[in-house]
Amino acid sequence: MLTPQFYLTAIVLVASLLVAARMVIVEKRPRTDLNPRLIPTTPVLIASGFVALLALIHLMNLIGIHTGQR
């Protein structure tokens, strides 16, 4: 179970959750001026959430919980 693939997937899961959490914090912060942000937070939040979901499913499959229609 504790293979390099497991560790790499766990690192990707944690990193994508950290990015998603940071984007939520940036979106909730009050605006001080009307200049647009350099990085759009909503697409980054959606993409990192999708990557986190895929990493979680992959970790579950590595542990032995089979997802899907088998």
CA 32 distance to own-chain centroid: 28
Domain ranges of the chain: 4-29+38-63
Give the model's pLDDT for residue 10: 96
pLDDT above 70 (res 70):
no
pLDDT in tens, 9-56: 999 999 999 999 999 999 999 988 899 888 899 999 999 999 999 999
Query: pTM score, two decimals?
Result: 0.85
pLDDT tens for each residue of 7-19: 999 999 999 999 9
pLDDT reading at 68 higher than 80: no
Distance in angstroms (rounded) separating the CA atoms of residues 11 and 17: 10
* Straight-line distance from the first to the last Cα atom of the chain, in angstroms, rounded to the nearest whole number: 21
CA 60 → CA 14, 32, 63, 67, distances in Å?
A: 15, 43, 5, 8
